[in-house]
Amino acid sequence: MPADFKWTEPRTWFRVAQPSGESTQLSRRHVYILPTRYGWLYALLLLATLTGAINYSLSMGFAMTFWLAGLGSVSMLHTWRNLAHLKISPYRAQPVIAGQPALFEFKVSEENNRARYAVNAMFQGQGQDCRDIPALADSIFKLTLPTQRRGWLKAPRVVFSTQFPLSLFNVWAYAEIDHNCLVYPAPGPHSLAMASPDMQAKEGQQHSLQGNDDFAGHRTYQFGDSPKRVDWKASSREQGLLTKLFQGEATSTLWLDWRTTTDDNTESRISQLARWVVDAENNHLSYGLRLPQLEVKPHSGSAHYHQCMTALALM
């Protein structure tokens, strides 16, 4: 009986496989088995066949009953063996934005030289993933979980089950797996425009030159951009407001500063900074992030984006 067993809480009636190091093992003490509805129907059929064989003294009836009973017993053993002694390890969980589903990936390993078929994994109340596991090999199970707030999201208890080979019995086990997914804050609305490099240049930010004064492309217009830089011809073609970029023009370092946010609510300020980070990354700008306890130096690119969003998620 589990140590935390309580009659009033059915979820405590079963043993849960706990992580040992980086993996969790489904030992025989963690695997449970019960007949499915087809299993109960099969048992009723056996009872009816046995009753008929006794009433009419049918040797073939006895032989058929005992043969079917033996088939059911072998099915019970193989269904149990299809799940027992599997090893589960955390594999990967990519960061997501709050509100998007978090994808947890688990590596399930078979180490007893027996192929496992139709093994299901699921979070309680969520969708399931069904896969085969080759002998002495691994399979990756992918489970999703809804997210609501920023920060670390721990994977809840995972339910593993199978009914292979005849669906007469349902075998299941519960496993706790030390697996976490980082949830980034949801970007706020576009209501507060991000300070553009042109505006910060007027305020005395340092700038650098990048080559000759040649046209280098467009970027989406940002509040504070000079009207002289707007490509009005492109905008007239219903492409939205676009700002011209030139190589060799003075460009300023863009700082996304906690002190420039206007809301009094901490979560709203974090969301606004997240919006600025997303906008700056989408526009391929070089930007830095200033927080009360941390400063991320200006840079650009995917790694820098994840560094800034991680800092916001863990505030």
Torsional sign, CA 246, 249, 253, 256: negative
What pLDDT does residue 264 have? 85
Residue ranges per domain, the chain? Answer: 14-183, 197-313
What pLDDT does residue 242 have? 74
Q: Nearest 5°: phi and psi at 22?
A: -95, -5
Q: What is the dihedral of CA 212, 215, 216, 220, to 10 degrees?
A: 130
Prior bond to 165 cis, omega within 30? yes
Classify burial at 104, counting beta carbons within 10 Å of its beta carbon; exposed 0-12, middle 13-18, buried 19 or more. buried
Say how far apart CA 84 and CA 77 lie, in whole Å: 11
Six-digit token string for 206: 């340092």
Say how far apart CA 78 and CA 80 lie, in whole Å: 5
CA angle 33, 36, 41 (to 5 degrees): 130
* Largest distance between two CA atoms of the chain: 104
Distance of CA 174 to the CA centre of its chain: 19
Say how far apart CA 288 and CA 299 lie, in whole Å: 6
14-183 CATH choice from 3.40.50.2000, 3.40.50.2300, 3.40.50.970, 2.60.40.10? 2.60.40.10
List b or e across 286-301, with b for residues whose CB sees 16 or more CB atoms inside 10 angstroms: bbbbebeeeebebeee
* Beta strand extents in the chain (DSSP E only): 16-17, 24-25, 31-35, 87-92, 96-97, 102-109, 116-123, 128-133, 138-145, 151-154, 158-162, 169-175, 180-184, 207-208, 214-220, 242-247, 251-252, 254-257, 287-291, 294-299
What does the pLDDT profile of the chain (315 residues) look like in tens digits? 666 666 656 666 788 999 988 899 999 999 999 999 999 999 999 999 999 999 999 999 999 999 999 999 999 999 999 999 999 999 999 999 999 999 999 999 999 999 999 999 999 889 999 999 999 999 999 999 999 999 999 999 999 999 999 999 999 999 999 999 999 999 988 766 665 554 444 444 444 434 445 666 666 766 556 677 777 777 676 566 777 766 554 455 789 999 888 888 999 999 999 999 998 888 888 899 999 989 999 988 899 999 999 999 998
| Contact in structure between 310 and 182 (CB atoms under 8 Å) | yes
What pLDDT does residue 237 have? 67
Say how far apart CA 24 and CA 21 lie, in whole Å: 8
What pLDDT does residue 262 have? 81
56: amino acid identity, one letter: Y
What pLDDT does residue 231 have? 76
What pLDDT does residue 193 have? 61
Radius of gyration of the chain (CA): 31
